[in-house]
Amino acid sequence: MLTTVTDVIAATRYLLQDVNGEIWTDDELRNKINEGQRIYSEKTKCLKTDFDLMTYMESGNYPDNFTEYVFGINDQKQEIIPTSFNRLYDCFGDEFEDITGNTEAIWDDHDNPGAYHIFPVKEQNLTKLVENQWQGEILEIVGSANTYDNWGLINGISGYHINGIWGTTQFVDDYDYIGGIQYIRKSNDDVIEIRDYDILQYYAAAQALLMETERNNKDMAKIMMGLFDNMIGQEIELINIAHGKNSSKGEFF
Q: Which residues lie below 8 Å from residue 232, measured CB to CB, with a gap of 6+?
A: 40, 43, 44, 199
Does 251 map to a domain?
no
- 94 and 181 in a single domain? The answer is yes
Q: Are residues 72 and 180 in the same domain?
A: yes
In-domain check, residue 248: no
Check whether residue 121 and residue 140 sit in a common domain. Answer: no
Q: Does residue 69 lie in a domain region? A: yes
Residue 111: Cβ-neighbour burial (10 angstroms; 0-12, 13-18, 19+): exposed
Residue 236 makes CB contacts below 8 A (sequence gap 6+) with 43, 44
Residues 25, 132, single domain; the answer is: no
pTM of the model: 0.59
Q: Look up residue 160 and give its amino acid.
A: Y
Question: So what's the pLDDT on residue 166?
Answer: 40
For 95-138, the pLDDT digits (tens) are 888 888 889 999 999 888 899 999 998 776 544 333 333 343 33
pLDDT of residue 184: 86
User: What is the count of structural domains for the chain?
Assistant: 3
Mean residue pLDDT of the chain comes to: 77
Residues 94 and 110 in one domain: yes
Are 87 and 180 in the same domain? yes
- In 3-state terms, what secondary structure has residue 202? helix
Category of 134 on φ-ψ map: left (φ > 0), alpha (ψ -120 to 50) or beta: beta
Same domain, yes or no: 181 and 86: yes
Summarised one tens digit per residue, pLDDT across range 165-176 is: 444 444 444 567
Same domain for 31 and 59: no
Q: Taking the chain (253 residues) in consecutive chunks of 10 residues, what is each chunk's mean pLDDT?
A: 80 94 95 90 84 80 89 91 92 86 91 91 54 36 36 40 41 67 85 80 95 92 94 82 58 66
Question: How close are the terminal C-alpha atoms of the chain, in Å?
Answer: 45
Query: What does the alpha-carbon distance between residue 234 and residue 52 come to, in Å, rounded to a whole number?
Result: 32
The b-or-e profile of 17-29 (16+ CB within 10 A means b, else e) is ebeeeeebeeebb
Domain that holds residue 146: 126-174
DSSP annotation of 120: S
- pLDDT score, position 252: 66
CA distance 225 to 222: 5
Would you say residue 96 lies in a domain? yes
Q: Quickly list H helices, 17-161.
A: 26-44, 85-92
